[in-house]
Amino acid sequence: MSTHVPISSRPSRIAWIVPSLIEGSGGHRTIFQNIQALIDAGHECHVFVETPGNREFAPGTPEHEQVLHQMRGYFGFACPNVHLGWHVKGQFDLVFATAWYTARFVAGLPIRRKAYFVQDFEALFMPMGDGYLIAENSFRLGLTPLTIGRWLTSKMRRDFDSYGTFFEFCADGRVYRPIGKQRERAVCVICQPEKPRRCPVLSVETMGIIKHHRPDVKVYLYGSREKPNTWFEHTNLGLVNVEQCNELYNTCQVGLCISSSNPSRIPFEMMAAGLPVVDIHRDNNLYDMPEGGVLLADQRPEAIARAIMSLLDDPAKRDAMSKFGVEYMKLRTLERGFAQFVAGVELVLADRAGEFREMNRVLAPMYRQTPVRMLPPKPGDVTPEELAAAADMEQAMRRRLEAEHELAFIDGSRSWRAVQAFKRTAVYRALAHLRFGEGWDHVDPSEDPLARLGRIKNSRSYKLIQQSKSTGVYRWYARRRYGPEFVPPQSTNPPANPR
């Protein structure tokens, strides 16, 4: 991995506080790419990786070697200064937080310059409540934000009086480019049921409307191993590599990628391949989406469908958007984004972060067109079958959210955490390896919540916990700890919230 950034005249020591690694994580990939840019610029970067219980593992231990192997295998990243556990020792010129729950830790470190590598407004990933507010509070700790895209920098200033800078959404022009292929009358849709912020239900409803009005249009869904509930003809490509993505973007006439938080990189990669893009008209998309290459619609599926159909029916507009997108993204190479990030970091290192205030004063939305809105429905526009399919999809989403809620309750319980801590011990791991073989502890990060909940409830560990809670010893202990009115739960479902 090389980023081709200029060498700094003032190399510094920079610490990065990073969450535990997740295979296929785009967030980790972006973190490591920008760390590499700083290394290429001559800075000495130290990466502190989260571990269970914040345990520290020395270089050369199996745990340390495993993380180095995962960094190379998952993300193509190699760094000589990787530390397991957030035990920051020695002198550093700057320290970075990289996720909401790392920010408070960084704020408490005895390092003078502190920054926050912000890739999304993570509070939006949670329901309103403690989780949302605690994640939001991570922006109130005085860390200087360096964000991907203009919207987050603007939001930091408007909502938290926190002034930072941004680096642009860029694309790898060696991968995403026009290849001169004849385009089909088709729409490609990023559909990821495991990522609520990508609005999979809204995307599917939109395509159902299009297939009703334009049955000749091909629909390609991609981006996930999970299959959404659909009632119309389509092709589900599942997970595809970057070369296959570019092939897809050169096959279709329109691309749909809904971003309800910070924009995805995907619309920018679509533009680089010459594909006109449709997204929703919300504040998060107005600061980074160019009018010439993207069409933003009201968030109703009828309006999104109308925007897509207007492009399918207008070859001249599609051609103009295609040419604009290619030219717009030619300047926005990965190297440009890395250089912008490094320049922002070096202003922080030079104690010139105050200059970000002036830049923030002129930061304004770049998309000023009114959104495409829905037309009044006509009799027969929606069939009973489509209404039934939409109801089934809503019910499936509700079951999924209930499963996620119950999983969060189980994962946060003391008894479950104690069992998981025991499973991380060397003795247990050795026995499990002998009994179950290689990969016994592998967890698919994209596993459906309903499937994971069923797997946990059928596990010996879960059943043992439930059985132990029905014993007289546990009842005695619980009443002493929680009071005489304590009643043991019949399951791990949390009680309903009173209205």
**Percent of residues, the chain, with pLDDT higher than 90:** 67
Q: Cβ(314)–Cβ(308) under 8 Å?
A: no
Residues 6+ apart with CB under 8 A from 496: none
Answer for the pair 148, 135: CB distance below 8 angstroms, yes or no.
no
Q: Counting every residue, how long is the chain?
A: 499
Torsion angle, alpha carbons of 204, 209, 214, 217, to 10: 0
What are residue 295's DSSP bridge partners? 278
Q: Looking at residue 464, what is its pLDDT?
A: 85
Helices assigned H by DSSP within 226-282: 242-251, 266-272
For 219-226, what is the mean pLDDT?
93
pLDDT, residue 496, reads: 38
Span(s) in the chain for CATH 3.40.50.11090: 13-170+336-351
**What are 62-77's pLDDT values in tens digits?**
999 999 999 999 999 9
Distance (Å) of CA 243 to CA 88, 274, 288, 337: 39, 15, 25, 21
Euclidean distance between CA atoms 83 and 86, whole angstroms: 8
Residues 463-481 pLDDT 10s: 888 888 878 777 777 777 7
| pLDDT given for residue 471 in this prediction | 83
For 186-330+365-382, give the CATH class: alpha beta
Got the DSSP string for 15-51? EEEEPPP-TT-HHHHHHHHHHHHHHHTT-EEEEEE--
Is residue 400 over pLDDT 90? no
Contact 7, 37 (CB under 8 A): no
CATH 3.40.50.2000 segments of the chain: 186-330+365-382
pLDDT tens, position by position, 82-95: 999 999 999 999 99
pLDDT band at 498 (very low <50, low <70, confident <90, very high): very low
Query: Would you say 279 and 257 are in contact if contact means Cβ atoms under 8 Å apart?
Result: yes
Select the CATH number that applies to the domain covering 13-170+336-351 from these four: 3.40.50.11750, 1.20.140.10, 3.30.420.40, 3.40.50.11090: 3.40.50.11090
Beta bridge partners of 297: 280, 372
Q: What is the pLDDT of residue 44?
A: 97
What mean pLDDT, rounded, does the chain reach?
89
pLDDT surpassing 90 at residue 121? yes
**DSSP 3-state of 327:** helix
Amino acid at 171: A
49 pLDDT higher than 90? yes
* Residue-wise DSSP of 354-399: GGHHHHHHT---S--SPPB-PPPP-TTSS-HHHHHHHHHHHHHHHH
pTM of the entire predicted model: 0.76
pLDDT of residue 491: 45
> What are 263's two structure tokens?
């924009």
The CA radius of gyration of the chain, in Å to the nearest whole number, is 25
Q: What is the DSSP string of 427-457?
A: HHHHHHHHHH-TTTT---TT--HHHHHHHHH
Helix then strand count (H, E) for the chain reads 19, 13
